[in-house]
């Protein structure tokens, strides 16, 4: 067998370049050629790694999912119950350049998913994982009596996710209101999840 190369590693490099491009210019700035250039490769090269643009987008969307879950796992360290939840949500909010870049990417893919069933399935899978983790976290709180008896942990998780996504969207196109919005988030979380 002749010359070979780690295809999965190359796909990851190209996927990273694609996500960088999306964070800067949205999905509209993504073409096979611009992605290849951003990855330091020729357009012909990326054609060897992906069967087409759709394959590229699907791969990148899964990369985004991985990153979200990884970012939430990284918060886990304990602290005040309310503070941990706050950090859990802030981890995904566009409050600094790197988080803003990632949030812009998530929003771009979520919007494309509205009319793209394959991407929608990936979005739903990511949501399912995040929701499961959050629900489990709430259930632990509940078992320790730090949550009122009647609380529905699943609904609570959905509400926190929606709150995070909603604030994310607004912060993305209104960066100046970021501080005020974080304050609003804090009061909302305090009301939604009254830490025992």
Partner DNA sequence: CTCTATAGAATACGACCGTATCCTTACGAG
Partner DNA sequence: CTCGTAAGGATACGGTCGTATTCTATAGAG
Classify residue 72 by its DSSP letter. Answer: H
75 forms part of the interface with DNA (CB under 7 A): no
Q: Which two tokens stand for residue 172?
A: 């993305």
Stretch that binds DNA, among 24-32, 79-87, 89-97, 180-188 (CB under 7 A): 24-32
Q: Which of 46, 56, 156, 178 binds a copy of itself (CB under 8 A)?
A: 156
Stretch that binds a copy of itself, among 35-43, 49-57, 62-70, 151-159 (CB under 8 A): 151-159
Mask: binding to a copy of itself, 21-50, rule CB under 8 A, as x and -? ---xxx-xx---------------------
Which pairs with CB-CB distance under 8 Å and at least 24 residues apart come from 133-136? 133/69, 133/72, 134/88, 134/160, 134/161
Classify residue 93 by its DSSP letter. Answer: S
135 binds, among DNA, a copy of itself, none (CB under 5 to 8 A by kind): none
Classify residue 149 by its DSSP letter. Answer: T
Measured in whole angstroms, the distance separating CA 180 from the mean position of its chain's CA atoms is 22
7 binds, among DNA, a copy of itself, none (CB under 5 to 8 A by kind): DNA
Mask: binding to a copy of itself, 67-106, rule CB under 8 A, as x and -? -------------------------------------x--
Left if phi > 0, otherwise alpha if psi is -120 to 50, otherwise beta: which for 6? beta
24 binds, among a copy of itself, DNA, none (CB under 5 to 8 A by kind): a copy of itself
Whole-angstrom CA distances from 152 to 107, 123, 155, 186 are 27, 23, 5, 20
Please count the residues of the chain: 196
How many residues sit in the footprint of a copy of itself (CB under 8 A)? 46
Q: Which of 16, 26, 32, 153 binds DNA (CB under 7 A)?
A: 32
83 binds, among DNA, a copy of itself, none (CB under 5 to 8 A by kind): none
Which pairs with CB-CB distance under 8 Å and at least 24 residues apart come from 117-120? 118/54, 118/58, 119/57, 119/58, 119/61
The residues binding DNA (CB under 7 A) are 1-5, 7, 10, 30-34, 41-45, 47-48, 52-54
């Amino acid at each position: 067998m002749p010359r070979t190369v780690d295809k999965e590693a190359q796909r990851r490099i190209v996927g990273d370049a694609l996500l960088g491009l999306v964070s800067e210019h949205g999905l509209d700035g993504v073409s096979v050629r611009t992605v290849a250039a951003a990855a330091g490769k020729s357009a012909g090269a990326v054609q060897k790694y992906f069967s087409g643009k759709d394959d590229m987008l699907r791969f990148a969307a899964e990369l985004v999912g991985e990153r979200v879950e990884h970012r939430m796992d990284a918060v886990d360290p304990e602290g005040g119950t309310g503070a941990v939840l706050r950090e859990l949500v802030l981890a995904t909010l566009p409050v600094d350049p790197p988080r803003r870049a990632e949030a812009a990417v998530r929003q771009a893919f979520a919007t494309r998913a509205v009319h793209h069933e394959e991407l929608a399935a990936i979005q739903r899978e990511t949501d399912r994982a995040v929701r499961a983790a959050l629900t489990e976290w709430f259930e632990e709180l509940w078992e320790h009596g730090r949550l009122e008896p009647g609380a529905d942990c699943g609904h609570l998780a959905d509400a926190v996710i929606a709150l995070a996504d909603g604030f994310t969207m607004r912060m993305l196109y209104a960066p100046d209101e970021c501080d005020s919005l974080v304050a609003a988030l804090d009061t909302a979380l305090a009301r939604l999840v009254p830490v025992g």
